[in-house]
Chains A and B, each alone.
Chain A
């Protein structure tokens, strides 16, 4: 549903540096957009009563980028995106740091919220990135959600 004949302007990346949210907002802000939504996933301290001191993120970079690009293209078929940016951080993150950023702009706000929610929800089930908890007792543990939920492969024949 990309209304213009121009290809969608998108920014998709992995980075081991702090995510520059100002730059992402500037990128998606265009005259075609009446709404800009920015979502950040941030490192939370408490999970089921346990205390996190840091998270390590690892990715399968080639596949993560290809899945992120496919997801962005799919989202642009469903909502009239003006621009979109999808960035995932890797490496060692402290509490409060952003691990993922989704920035979308659309002509009207309902579409920006819906497209932004779709992007983060789908990223979390199909993009090959993993987090490792660094608990406050000094132990570490890879996080692997139960496979009974929503999961890939969502693929073309």
Chain B
């Protein structure tokens, strides 16, 4: 596999996170081997408008809830959303 230092991912934003950023999907290059916790910091750097909700956001990788130490793989779909309110 070619060695690169960035990874292509798709970001999906929902509900208030989508409203604040004005978008529901982004295509990003992020550093290789970034963890979910590090991604959270990067998300706030690149989307400072998420400041008010960043600490409440859940992050899911490929449609599964992710832990902060999980490493994000090439091509991942990263969903970011505030607490759910279905029902």
Contact = CB atoms under 8 A, between A and B. Distances in A.
Interface of A: 41, 57-60, 62-64, 66, 88, 99-100, 120, 123-132, 142-147, 151-155
Contact of A155 (B53, B65, B84, B87): B65
B87 A126 contact: no
21 contacts: A57-B86, A60-B12, A60-B81, A63-B60, A66-B63, A88-B87, A99-B87, A100-B87, A129-B85, A130-B15, A130-B81, A130-B84, A131-B85, A142-B16, A144-B16, A144-B53, A144-B82, A145-B83, A153-B58, A154-B65, A155-B67
B65 A152 contact: yes
Interface string B19-60: 100000000000000000000000000000000010110101
A152 B81 CA distance: 12
A137 B83 CA distance: 25
A58 B82 CA distance: 13
Given A58-B14, A142-B16, A99 B86 contact: yes
A154 B12 CA distance: 21
A interface: dominant SS: mixed
B71 interface: no
Nearest to B18: A58
B76 to A, nearest CB: 13
Most buried by A among B53, B63, B85: B85
